[in-house]
Structure 1
Amino acid sequence: MRVYWRYIPQARNTLAALAAACEVHGYELDVADGPRPDVTIYSLNSINERVYRDEIAGADCITIVGGPHASACYREVAEYADYVVVGEGEYTLPALLAAIEDGRNAPPGVATSAGYTPAQHTVLLDGYPPFSRIKGFVEITRGCPFSCGYCQTPRLFGRCMRHRSIDEIVRYASRYRDIRFVAPNAFAYGSDGIHLRLDRVERLLRQLDGRRVFFGTFPGEVRPECVSRESLELVTGHCANTRLHFGAQSGSDAVLRRLHRGHTVQDVLSAVDLCREYGLVPVVDFILGLPFETDDDQRATLDLVREVTRAGKAHIHYFMPLPGTPLSNARPRPLLPETESVLGKLALDGRITGSWMDHEIRFFRHTPHL
């Protein structure tokens, strides 16, 4: 049975991880630029799903769809795809391929037009390689204990953090000259995500000494309340990055509480000040147009953006409701004229990136910050 992966640039790291998992079970994924028989696999998010929907529906082969959009909207996706992998795919996807090959029913964790039975397993990161012949970033942590209203991560991967062992991280990191990690919060490595274990972060970084390690940058950012003298000394003492990337999301404490962010505006200001003190450029994410944001809340966020960009960078997003999240049915509110004016000037000065007008521009043109 020939199995293909539909190449979508934004899902490259997912390809690396799932190709490696399938290889463990004896299935090799060939990359294709369209549907191919016998089986073609897609990984979709909520921005690009509409781009590939008709292609999948008209494919002359068996189609399997996964990814954040498919996991959240599996009933909808099952109307045009043969199979939908819901949630983590390392175990479920190879099991589904074996079932297709043997003519058996889909295993738990896979939705079809006939119904869905939830998976009864959790993926242990050490059980599967982060990549094999198709290289990707090394995922060191999965899951998030926080429940930010706009975020799909805890809904896809759970609120219990799971970590790859240091030996396995070092093993795969050795295949790179420049090493970057995937993590919802790099400083939370080895911990429950609330109570940091920086001793374990230090142990990891010491094992990687002598290599060019980028830690706390895309695609493994940190949280502002985790930025401390101790954590920054680890970065400046062991790593090559000159930037640190973390999320503020809003300049209003009232908005942060409604988002369930778990930090305050003061945490963001303290993190920015510490980055400057340690010679790191803070790169800070913001979301504008949140549905419960008042004019004053938006102005407070704009003030915080100005403060960050005095000696750092801001990455601006316009709120997009994502399926499966508490804010999935919310509508973004318009930006104030003064907000658009200030953001335009900051963008011309090169002090902010992102898109606050068009989700697709933001998604398709996003580039990593090192």
Structure 2
Amino acid sequence: MNVNWRSISWAKNSFAALSAACERFGITLNEVDSPECDITCYSLNSVNEPHFREEISNAECITIVGGPHPSACWKEVSRYADYVVIGEGEYTLPALIRMIEEGSSSLPAGVATKDHALMPDTCVFLPAYPPFTTVRGYIEITRGCPFGCGYCQTPRLFGRHMRHRRIDDIERASRVYRDVRFVTPNALAYGSDGIHLRLDKVEALLRALTGRRIYFGTFPSEVRPECVSHESLDLIERYCANRKVHFGAQSGSNRVLQMLRRGHSAEDVMRAYDLCREHGIIPIVDYIVGLPGESDEEQRQSVKQMKEIIRYGIVHVHHFTPLPGTPLAGMSARSVLADVQRDLGRMAKSGKATGSWIDAEVRFFRDDEDQLP
């Protein structure tokens, strides 16, 4: 039985991880540009899902669909897909493929159809699976996040308990690369519970990778602003090739940050900015504009903070997109004020702002940030 993986640029790392997991069970995922027999697998988010709905519905093969959107909206997706993988796929996808091959009707946990659904009953033990094998991707070092940011799917998909890959497994995976990049919700939280940092474990990881060009705390392994300190920046300076650090502010308003359940303040953002300047490291700071519940003045407050940031750093700005399964799901984005658009346009023209504050879909369809090292 042929098992195929639908090529989607946004899902390259999912392809790498799930291909490695399937290989452990003797299953090869063949990358294809359209659905092919016998089985075609998809990984979708909430922005690209509408673009593939018709293709999946009309596919003349068995379709398996997973990813953030199907995990949150499995009832909706199961109306047009044969099977929906809910949550993590390393165990579930190979088990489902074997079930189909054997002609069984006994669904594994974490799978839904239009008639039945079994919720996931376990979480993935990362050391049991390599981050990739023949299909290369970034090295995922941590999964899960203890914070419950209102707009974010990560803790809803992977839980609020951080799970870490072992250093020797990370080092082994890194041998195929000269430049090493990581996937993690917070690079500086490696080895910790995500709240109480263990920089000794971060240093042990970085030391184990000596001899390679390490990119840590920058895309796609951003950090949280309250984790930026003299000690953490010293580690990046000592072991890493990047001279930029990427962290999330999301808003310049403390009231909005509390509403978002961010767990840090606007002052923490500026403290992280100041520390980066002291260390000669360029801060790249994320913001979301058009948040529900954000007042005009608070939107301008974010821009005011951005103007401080771009004196030395860069801002990365996106328009709010409500994601299913999050506390802000179903809430409408506010429009971006005309003067805010003008200010952001000027920042972009000067090379100090990137992102998509007009068209929310841009970040999910561009390939420039999604290239493998």
Fold shared by both chains (TM-score > 0.5): yes
User: What is the one-letter code of the residue matched to 2:141?
Assistant: I
Distance 1:256 1:3 in 2: 44
Aligned to 1:275: 276
Q: Indicate the SS of the match to 1:359.
A: coil
The within-5 A match list for 1:1-370 is: 1-105=1-105, 106-365=107-366, 367-368=368-369
Deviant stretches of 4+, over 4 Å? none
Distance 1:365 1:141 in 2: 25
Distance 2:343 2:10 in 1: 30
Over the aligned positions, Cα root-mean-square deviation in angstroms equals 1.1
Distance 2:153 2:136 in 1: 25
Q: Indicate the SS of the match to 1:245.
A: strand
Distance 1:208 1:153 in 2: 27
Distance 2:364 2:53 in 1: 18
1:2–1:37 Cα contact (<8 Å) kept: yes
Q: Deviations over 1:71-92 (max 9, x none)?
A: 0100000000000000000000
Q: Indicate the SS of the match to 2:306.
A: helix
User: What is the one-letter code of the residue matched to 1:37?
Assistant: C
Q: Deviations over 1:143-167 (max 9, x none)?
A: 0000000000000000000000000
1:354–1:366 Cα contact (<8 Å) kept: no
Task: Give the unaligned 5+ runs of structure 2.
Answer: none
Q: Deviations over 1:244-294 (max 9, x none)?
A: 000000000000000000000111001011111111110000000000101
Post-superposition offset of 1:242: 1.1
Distance 1:335 1:119 in 2: 39
Q: Indicate the SS of the match to 1:287.
A: strand
User: What is the one-letter code of the residue matched to 2:154?
Assistant: T
Distance 2:177 2:167 in 1: 16
Q: TM-score scaled to structure 2, two decimals?
A: 0.98
User: What is the one-letter code of the residue matched to 1:364?
Assistant: F
Distance 2:288 2:116 in 1: 36
User: What is the one-letter code of the residue matched to 1:270?
Assistant: R
Distance 2:271 2:225 in 1: 8
Q: Deviations over 1:1-50 (max 9, x none)?
A: 11000000110000000000000011001110101111000000011101
Q: Deviations over 1:124-179 (max 9, x none)?
A: 11100100101000000000000000000000000000000000000001110000
Q: Percent identity over the alignment?
A: 59
Post-superposition offset of 1:366: 6.2
Deviates more, 1:291-300 or 1:231-240: 291-300
Post-superposition offset of 1:368: 3.2
1:6–1:41 Cα contact (<8 Å) kept: yes
Post-superposition offset of 1:221: 0.4
Distance 1:128 1:341 in 2: 48
Distance 2:76 2:31 in 1: 26
User: What is the one-letter code of the residue matched to 1:209?
Assistant: T
Q: Deviations over 1:98-121 (max 9, x none)?
A: 100111122110000012111211
Distance 1:170 1:42 in 2: 29
Task: Give the unaligned 5+ runs of structure 1.
Answer: none
